[in-house]
Amino acid sequence: MNPMLNIAIRAARKAGNVIAKSYERRDDLQTVTKGINDFVTNVDKAAEAAIIETIRASYPDHTIITEESGALEGKDKEIQWVIDPLDGTTNFIKGFPHFSVSIAIRVKGRTEVGVVYDPINNELFTGVRGEGAKLNDLRLRVTEKRDLQGTILATGFPFKQPKLMPAQFAMMTSLAESAADFRRTGSAALDLCYVAAGRVDAYFEMGVKAWDIAAGELIAREAGALVCDFAGGHNYLKEGNVVVSSPRVVKEILTKIQPHFNQI
């Protein structure tokens, strides 16, 4: 096994244990508002600390970029661990059992390893560049849909940027002409992994952060998905707008959503 993958899995499971134990005792939850509809809890911070401790024990010189602490620069700036310790914090706060730990490892600007762990269902999604993607020990392959007709589409609402909501609903209205249904579950990392696993046929979202999607997008790509931004390019980690599906479905989704995105 790739040695960095091994450490990433160890870190994700340790954070997952922190989250799962706290989920059973949410009376002790301490929540702080970071921004519009944006929350952080003491559990996010404890899970992040567990991840950082695990990484530092094996790779003390690597740079770590986290949602809560920002960039923790190490001597080696070419290797970056991009972490979301609890993707789906709002679900966690409400007791909705759908959230995950997301850890990506980027080397010289390219994502090499992705790990997404769902501690409630004990589902570990992993991907290594050029080596495929797995759910636990099962090899993943994206659903090879030939067109948008009858697809199940996952999305997330830009609730932290309310001004984008009209465009979101316009896109969904256009897509609904062909799609069978939508799913909006509250964890971008798991949405990407669910595309990889064929549980949904596609995923699109505006305004996500790199730590939300860096691990999941590699897993989806390694399962055969095409990942792009709303212009069909590769700036999704920087811009935060992402479309993921089989190549033919991505093309149709872009055709449907671009007119509404360009009006923003």
Annotated binding site for Mg(2+): 67, 84, 86-87, 212
Amino acid at 183: R
Q: Where are the alpha helices (DSSP H) in 28-127?
A: 42-58, 89-94
User: Mutual orientation of helices 3-23 and 42-58 as an angle, nearest 10°?
Assistant: 160
Specify the DSSP class assigned to residue 26: G
Is residue 7 within 8 Å of residue 54, measured between CB atoms? yes
Task: Summarize the annotated binding site as residue ranges.
Answer: 67, 84, 86-87, 212
Maximal CA-CA distance, the chain:
52
**What distances in angstroms separate CA 207 from CA 51, 75, 113, 161, 259, one per listed residue?**
25, 31, 23, 8, 17
How far apart, in whole angstroms, are the C-alpha atoms of residue 213 and residue 191?
Answer: 9
